[in-house]
Homo-oligomer: A and B are copies of this chain.
């Protein structure tokens, strides 16, 4: 309450001010701040009182400079506005905060140019590490060039393109995309579906490739055919997905089910289906990927693959913190399983 009693004009309070204020040296104050057992109980009390009185706030930047350490982690995301990544970011921040780190945020909006700029800008703040969910098509070489090899980087969710480089000792946290999509496809097949499309995403993105591979795997294992026009690309958002819905029915035989790239796409597709008078969950089966919050609440609720983005965020932070503790350890590639969540959007094919 009396914190701001002294109208300390403008300048910030420093160690030196405190030291002067209670007649000790800066070093002693520093020791007090860091809870060293070396200081006398009495002086500690005096100093602490003075700290309170002057409203001192620690300057971590100065400390970090001297100690050649860092207490921040950069979090660079391709699309923060996507609830999946928003949840992820929340998890990251949670875990980093627990570890005494602060999150430097950067959002690239899926633009490689902005990714470069953002990485460059954040690096100037000397983060202890970086968590990066790369923009689509981001190249390993460029990232390596700007990040260098001083700062540990954890790759989340997507691979970088042209990853031939031997000296890119990065950790990875990836979803088991292939197995997830395979599970979804197998689930549809078990329901009796035979004409199953793969809908949405850009074929150039690694996660899309992996999910498509899982779909192909399941189809082939079941001896089912895959028509070329059952593969529809679209941007991974609702609006574009809804717009592309019609493409599923241009050609015959039309599919009666679709494994979608992710939930956003699946929800958009369902909207498009409604608009054509096709009722998802009854006339047409749909599955998603991610299990974002609205998946459970759509009509019909969406069958999808749960990846628990917040837990993934915490995990990403943990992995990076671990790397900081042991910079020499060999790079880890962590693949987290995803869980099939069956809801109303998946159904048997309409009786022919």
Contacts and interface: CB of A to CB of B under 8 A. Distances in A.
Contacts of A109: 90, 94
B271 A125 contact: no
A322 interface: no
A148 B57 contact: yes
B81 A90 contact: yes
A57 B124 contact: yes
Given A81-B86, A297-B238, A105 B61 contact: no
A104 B107 contact: no
A31 interface: no
A324 interface: no
Interface stretch (A114-122, A175-183, A192-200): A114-122
A268 interface: yes
A64 B126 CA distance: 13
A10 B89 CA distance: 30
Contacts of A93: 80, 105-107
Give the one of A123, A125, A298 with max B CB within 10 A: A125
Interface string A31-72: 000000000000000000000000101111110110000011
A268 B299 CA distance: 11
A105 B89 CA distance: 9
Contact of A242 (B103, B238, B271, B297): B297
Interface in A150-176: 150, 167
Interface residues of A, number: 64
Given A4-B144, A141-B1, A107 B124 contact: no
Nearest to A75: B105
As for how many copies of this chain the complex holds, the number is: 2
B107 A4 contact: no
Given A4-B144, A57-B123, A144-B4, A90 B64 contact: no
Given A86-B80, A297-B268, A148 B103 contact: no
B299 A59 contact: no
A253 interface: no
Given A150-B12, A274-B299, A294-B267, A90 B94 contact: no
Interface string A285-302: 000000001100111000
A151 to B, nearest CB: 9
A147 to B, nearest CB: 10
A276 to B, nearest CB: 14
Interface of A: 1, 3-4, 10, 12, 55, 57-62, 64-65, 71-72, 75, 80-83, 85-87, 89-90, 93-94, 97, 100, 102-107, 109, 117-118, 121-126, 141, 144-145, 148-150, 167, 238, 242, 267-268, 271, 274, 293-294, 297-299, 310
